[in-house]
């Protein structure tokens, strides 16, 4: 390019030279003096430089040359001030990186289509209770939809599994799926090796499994000999018959599924009964279907709704309980677009991610305001240069473009660094969201992420560069050249600082709301004590005799009790907070339910000493003991709320509660405990002894113990060794403290508090830098005036107060605007808050205090400097 340009210019020179020589010759021939002839020729030709310039325009369009020139110039000026370059790029990179990271997650969770054939034709057929909960369907409902819906060409049901399998003598925990026969044909997948599951596997017990490509690679190194290998899952021997195509793992983003088995096999693997297949109220399956070509989701939805209404009314007629019938009649069904898979992760993280997206957008805006301020300050120090350029004939547009080139370069650098940062940041976020479990999300850049980063970088560039550019355009040539300072950019500079304060205030308010939510959540009265409690579950790796199930359960608790340091050991089907109890309809002696009143209560099956471990106070009567076993008189302990609802002030001891044809005698009353989550309300709860519950299932209980002092986890290694001694088929699973288990239930709140706090602090820092910058600049600008004031008798305190007053002049409008903005925005996060309203005055006050303290501190340094100025030096300044 450079070479070509040089060459074309050289050619042009000789072309012109030729013209001039010939012209001169012709004059000489006319008898002119040679020198005069050359002069005359050149005169007639015109300004060579001007023509050369015109010629360049012909070959290289003006704007392109200008752009190149601007960029080269920008590189040169930026290289001269590395401090500015680093801070500007860092600010932008942080803003762009945070936005890209959050967007990557939104992309991974909600936008990325499943790697299957024509994903847009997939719908999820879901059933909703009136509270919007549960999207699963029962097996009879699945069959009913599959066989009666005319808008679909095929459907399948799916249920996730976690299992310990033994393959080649090695035990491992794997995640899998149990699916009905049409799974792969509806998805349109072809095997990478062997065969996939088909309708023939639904006909009867078919002990086969398909493994994922990733598992094939990890475990077998893509060896075709994997086909035909067998492994043991619980009590069943399964044969690997095929491998899924690469890239596919499961129908829900974030969930790995290493092996897929026929739905029919779940009852074999999990040793359960076939009840789930017949009961229409066992809603365990996720259902997806493929629409017939040309059928819209809306039409399928309309058909599904009508179909479900009929089915639901039929089933409701068979129900005896008034309350349950009403609940059932409130249920509805819907066909949801499922190109991006099942909605699980989307439901869980949609709100946090949307709020986070708003937060990081504000951070980017803040970064832009900050950068804009920096550029403006630079512009004012380059005012003389700008004036000279303007005096030499540069137009407004040309000057603005020069500034834009600089911010474009900064934005490009920021985008590159930010993109790298985003990779790291999104991985950290995924680790956080995984919450100790595994979360298999792909955040590798796809075109959506690249386009997003490009777009926000461009926006950032324009937003940050426009203000200084336009401002430069406004400035006057004359005063600037004479070094008289004009006031135009100062107003803009102050406005930018106020904007930064406003954004910081908004972010700080958000952060304090989320932090207060977390604090409130953890200080809520749960009714129990969770510290110093160790807990675990168990897993079976091989069959064990059913008859021994109850004995095994007791043996595990006894073994736990015998460990050194254990005060009380017990077990429960559901632990308060981390577990949700099941509900059953009851009839209570001497209490008549009003028609339509909720006759269900929460049920929990517990071992003796459950109340001692959880520290739930026993208010009346006795705890369960070893004599409350199968065959003896059914007994129950009820919670305080239960007593309050059904017995008023009377003692419930000796009264009976009947449920599912069993009459339980109430033998005790305990305090209320929270179930489900920290946000839940106290429920009417009824505890029954685990030995009186139908059938033994050692894997269905959480075992836990209160440990005397020290780290509760110290019991774990000994217990891990002890479990297989009870039965060689048993393994200890998920050893953890109760506190950890509760932390898992507050993932979203912790995530929002951590990230909100992080970005709030970041915003605070950026705003402080902004304040510091503008105040330092103001002080240096007003040095003469300050000198005069001191000469006239102003004290140091006066001067400091003077400067700080100016900080306050910025702070107050910034704070006020931030409050208004926050009051508008926080409403949208209402459902994520707990114990605080979106306009919680304490949160607003906390944020205001933090911002005021930080900005006054940032303004104090320049103020101190101002107060140390010697009047004489100040007056001699300039």
Q: How far apart are CA 387 and CA 277, in angstroms?
A: 83
Check residue 109 and report its DSSP letter: I
Smallest gap from Cβ 64 to another protein, in A, equals: 14
- The stretch near another protein (CB under 8 A) out of 56-64, 264-272, 460-468, 664-672 is 56-64
β-pairing, 685-689 vs 600-606, is parallel
Q: Say whether 564 sits in a helix, a strand or coil.
A: coil
Q: Which of 48, 274, 450, 713 binds another protein (CB under 8 A)?
A: 48
Assess 11 for contact with another protein (CB under 8 A). yes
- The stretch near another protein (CB under 8 A) out of 57-65, 193-201, 233-241, 257-265 is 57-65
- Residues 80-109 as b/e (b if ≥16 CB within 10 A, e otherwise) read eeeebbeebbbbbbbbbbbbbbbbbbbbbb
Q: Which of 36, 57, 314, 785 binds another protein (CB under 8 A)?
A: 57
β-pairing, 208-211 vs 170-179, is unpaired
- The stretch near another protein (CB under 8 A) out of 48-56, 77-85, 232-240, 443-451 is 48-56
Q: Which is nearer to another protein, 14 or 661 (CB)?
A: 14
- Asked if residue 191 lies in contact with residue 245, where contact means CB atoms within 8 angstroms, the answer is yes
Q: Provide φ and ψ at 177, rounded to 5°.
A: -135, 145
Q: Which is nearer to another protein, 14 or 831 (CB)?
A: 14
Q: DSSP string covering 149-199, please?
A: -TTEEEEEEEEEEEEEEEETTEEEEEEEEEE-TTHHHHHT---SEE----G
**Max CA-CA distance within the chain?**
141
Assess 51 for contact with another protein (CB under 8 A). yes
Q: How far apart are CA 595 and CA 618, in angstroms?
A: 33
- The stretch near another protein (CB under 8 A) out of 11-19, 333-341, 402-410, 820-828 is 11-19
- For 763, residues 6+ apart whose C-beta sits below 8 A from its C-beta are 362, 363, 366, 503, 504, 507, 508
- The stretch near another protein (CB under 8 A) out of 46-54, 423-431, 495-503, 853-861 is 46-54
Assess 823 for contact with another protein (CB under 8 A). no
Q: Which is nearer to another protein, 58 or 190 (CB)?
A: 58
Q: How many residues bind another protein (CB under 8 A)?
A: 23
Q: Which of 9, 13, 15, 130 binds another protein (CB under 8 A)?
A: 15
Q: Which is nearer to another protein, 10 or 877 (CB)?
A: 10
Q: Which of 1, 58, 170, 225 binds another protein (CB under 8 A)?
A: 58
- For 110, residues 6+ apart whose C-beta sits below 8 A from its C-beta are 340, 346, 350, 353
Q: Which of 45, 424, 582, 828 binds another protein (CB under 8 A)?
A: 45
Assess 6 for contact with another protein (CB under 8 A). no
Smallest gap from Cβ 17 to another protein, in A, equals: 9
Q: Which is nearer to another protein, 16 or 629 (CB)?
A: 16
Smallest gap from Cβ 12 to another protein, in A, equals: 7
- The stretch near another protein (CB under 8 A) out of 52-60, 188-196, 282-290, 379-387 is 52-60
Q: How far apart are CA 216 and CA 224, in angstroms?
A: 9
Q: Which is nearer to another protein, 63 or 582 (CB)?
A: 63
Smallest gap from Cβ 44 to another protein, in A, equals: 5
- The stretch near another protein (CB under 8 A) out of 19-27, 213-221, 258-266, 735-743 is 19-27
β-pairing, 662-670 vs 685-689, is unpaired
Q: Which of 21, 33, 172, 223 binds another protein (CB under 8 A)?
A: 21
By CB under 8 A, the residues from 59 to 118 that bind another protein are 59
β-pairing, 208-211 vs 259-262, is antiparallel
Smallest gap from Cβ 786 to another protein, in A, equals: 59
- The stretch near another protein (CB under 8 A) out of 21-29, 194-202, 319-327, 603-611 is 21-29
Smallest gap from Cβ 15 to another protein, in A, equals: 5
Q: Which is nearer to another protein, 59 or 529 (CB)?
A: 59
Assess 424 for contact with another protein (CB under 8 A). no
Check residue 137 and report its DSSP letter: B
Q: Which of 33, 54, 130, 725 binds another protein (CB under 8 A)?
A: 54
Assess 12 for contact with another protein (CB under 8 A). yes
Q: Which is nearer to another protein, 12 or 758 (CB)?
A: 12
Assess 16 for contact with another protein (CB under 8 A). yes
- Asked if residue 437 lies in contact with residue 736, where contact means CB atoms within 8 angstroms, the answer is no
Q: Which is nearer to another protein, 53 or 281 (CB)?
A: 53
Closest residue by Cα to residue 251 from 373, 405, 115, 393: 115
Q: Cα dist. 140→137, 145, 328, 332 in Å?
A: 8, 9, 16, 16
Assess 711 for contact with another protein (CB under 8 A). no
Assess 22 for contact with another protein (CB under 8 A). yes
Q: How far apart are CA 546 and CA 835, in angstroms?
A: 47
Assess 47 for contact with another protein (CB under 8 A). yes
- Residues 462-479 as b/e (b if ≥16 CB within 10 A, e otherwise) read ebbbbbbbebbbebeeee
Q: Which is nearer to another protein, 47 or 228 (CB)?
A: 47
Structure tokens at 312: 């639901």
Smallest gap from Cβ 393 to another protein, in A, equals: 20
Smallest gap from Cβ 16 to another protein, in A, equals: 7
Structure tokens at 758: 């992080």
Assess 34 for contact with another protein (CB under 8 A). no
Q: Which is nearer to another protein, 10 or 117 (CB)?
A: 10
Q: DSSP string covering 753-788, please?
A: HHHHHHHHHHHHHHHHHHHHHHHHHHHHHTHHHHHH
- Asked if residue 148 lies in contact with residue 168, where contact means CB atoms within 8 angstroms, the answer is no
Q: How far apart are CA 581 and CA 444, in angstroms?
A: 40
Q: How far apart are CA 67 and CA 556, in angstroms?
A: 77
Q: Provide φ and ψ at 537, rounded to 5°.
A: -120, 175
Assess 44 for contact with another protein (CB under 8 A). yes
List interacting residues with another protein (CB under 8 A). Answer: 11-12, 14-16, 18-19, 21-23, 25, 44-48, 50-51, 54-55, 57-59
């Amino acid at each position: 390019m450079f070479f070509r340009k040089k060459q074309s210019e050289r050619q042009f020179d000789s072309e012109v030279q030729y013209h001039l020589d010939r012209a001169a010759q012709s004059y000489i021939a006319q008898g002119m003096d040679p020198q005069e002839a050359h002069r005359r020729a050149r005169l007639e030709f015109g300004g060579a430089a001007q023509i050369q310039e015109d010629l360049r325009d012909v070959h290289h369009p003006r704007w392109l040359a200008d752009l190149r020139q601007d960029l080269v110039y920008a590189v040169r000026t930026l290289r001269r001030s590395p401090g500015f370059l680093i801070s500007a790029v860092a600010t932008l990179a942080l803003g762009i990186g945070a936005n890209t990271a959050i967007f990557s997650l939104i992309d991974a969770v909600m936008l990325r289509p499943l790697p299957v054939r024509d994903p847009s034709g997939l719908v999820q057929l879901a059933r909703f209770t009136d509270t919007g909960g549960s999207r699963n369907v029962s097996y009879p409902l699945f069959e009913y939809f599959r066989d009666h819906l005319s808008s679909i060409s095929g459907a399948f049901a799916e249920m996730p599994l976690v299992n310990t399998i033994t393959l080649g003598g090695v035990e491992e925990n794997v995640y899998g799926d149990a699916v009905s026969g049409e799974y792969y044909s509806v998805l349109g997948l072809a095997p990478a090796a062997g065969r996939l599951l088909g309708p023939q596997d639904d006909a009867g017990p078919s002990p086969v499994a398909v493994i994922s490509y990733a598992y094939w690679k990890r475990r077998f190194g893509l060896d075709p000999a994997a086909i035909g290998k067998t492994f043991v899952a619980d009590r069943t021997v399964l044969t690997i018959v095929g491998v899924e195509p690469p890239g596919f793992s499961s129908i829900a983003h974030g969930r790995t599924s290493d092996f897929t088995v026929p739905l029919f096999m779940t009852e074999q693997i999990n040793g359960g009964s076939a009840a789930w297949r017949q009961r229409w109220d066992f809603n365990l399956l996720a259902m997806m279907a493929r629409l017939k070509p040309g059928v819209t989701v809306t039409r399928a939805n309309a058909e599904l709704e009508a179909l479900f209404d009929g089915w639901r009314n039929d089933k409701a007629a068979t129900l005896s309980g008034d309350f349950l019938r009403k609940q059932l009649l409130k249920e509805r069904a819907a066909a949801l677009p499922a190109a991006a898979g099942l909605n699980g992760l989307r439901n869980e993280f949609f709100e946090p991610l949307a709020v986070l997206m708003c937060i990081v957008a504000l951070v980017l805006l803040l970064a832009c305001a900050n950068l804009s301020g920096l550029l403006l300050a630079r512009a004012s120090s380059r005012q003389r240069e700008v004036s000279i350029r303007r005096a030499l004939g540069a137009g407004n547009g040309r000057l603005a473009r020069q500034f834009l080139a600089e911010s474009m370069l900064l934005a490009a650098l920021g985008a590159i660094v930010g993109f790298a940062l985003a990779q790291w940041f999104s991985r950290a976020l995924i680790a956080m969201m995984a919450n100790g479990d595994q979360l298999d999300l792909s955040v590798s850049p796809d075109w959506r992420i690249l386009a997003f980063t490009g777009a926000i970088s461009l926006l950032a560039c324009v937003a940050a560069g426009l203000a200084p550019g336009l401002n430069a355009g406004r400035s006057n040539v004359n005063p600037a050249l004479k070094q008289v300072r004009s006031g135009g950019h100062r107003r803009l500079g102050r406005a930018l600082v106020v904007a930064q304060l406003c954004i910081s205030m908004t972010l700080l308010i958000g952060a304090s709301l989320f932090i207060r939510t977390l604090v409130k959540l953890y200080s809520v009265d749960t009714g129990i004590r969770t510290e110093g409690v160790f807990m675990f579950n168990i897993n079976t790796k091989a069959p064990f005799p059913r008859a021994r199930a109850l004995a095994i359960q007791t043996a595990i608790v006894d073994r736990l009790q015998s460990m050194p340091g254990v005060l009380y050991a017990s077990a429960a089907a559901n632990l308060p907070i981390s577990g949700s109890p099941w509900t059953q309809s009851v009839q209570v002696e001497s209490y008549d339910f009003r028609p339509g009143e909720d006759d269900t209560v929460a049920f929990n099956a517990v071992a003796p000493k459950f109340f001692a471990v959880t520290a739930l106070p026993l208010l009346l009567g006795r705890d369960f003991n070893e004599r409350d076993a199968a065959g003896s008189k059914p007994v129950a302990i009820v919670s305080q709320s239960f007593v309050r609802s059904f017995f008023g002030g009377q003692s419930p001891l000796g009264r009976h509660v009947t449920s599912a044809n069993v009459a339980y005698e109430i033998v005790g009353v305990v305090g209320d405990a929270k179930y489900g989550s920290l946000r839940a309300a106290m429920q009417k709860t009824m505890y029954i002894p685990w030995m009186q519950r139908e059938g033994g299932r050692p894997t269905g209980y959480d075992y836990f113990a209160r440990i005397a002092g020290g780290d509760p986890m110290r019991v774990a290694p000994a217990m891990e060794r002890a479990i297989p001694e009870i039965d060689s088929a048993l393994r200890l699973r998920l050893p953890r403290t109760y506190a950890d288990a509760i932390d898992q239930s507050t993932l979203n709140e912790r995530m929002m508090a951590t990230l909100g706090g992080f970005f709030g602090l970041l915003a605070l820092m950026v705003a402080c830098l902004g304040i510091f910058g503008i105040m330092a600049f103001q002080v240096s600008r007003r040095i003469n005036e300050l000198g005069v004031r001191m000469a006239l008798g102003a004290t140091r305190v006066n001067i400091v107060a003077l400067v700080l007053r100016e900080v306050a002049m910025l702070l107050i409008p910034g704070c006020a605007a931030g409050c208004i903005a926050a009051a508008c925005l926080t409403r949208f996060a209402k459902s994520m808050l707990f114990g605080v309203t979106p306009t919680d005055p304490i949160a607003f006050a906390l944020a205001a205090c933090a911002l005021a303290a930080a900005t006054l501190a940032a303004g104090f340094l320049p103020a101190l400097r101002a107060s140390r100025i010697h009047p004489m030096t100040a007056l001699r300044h300039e």
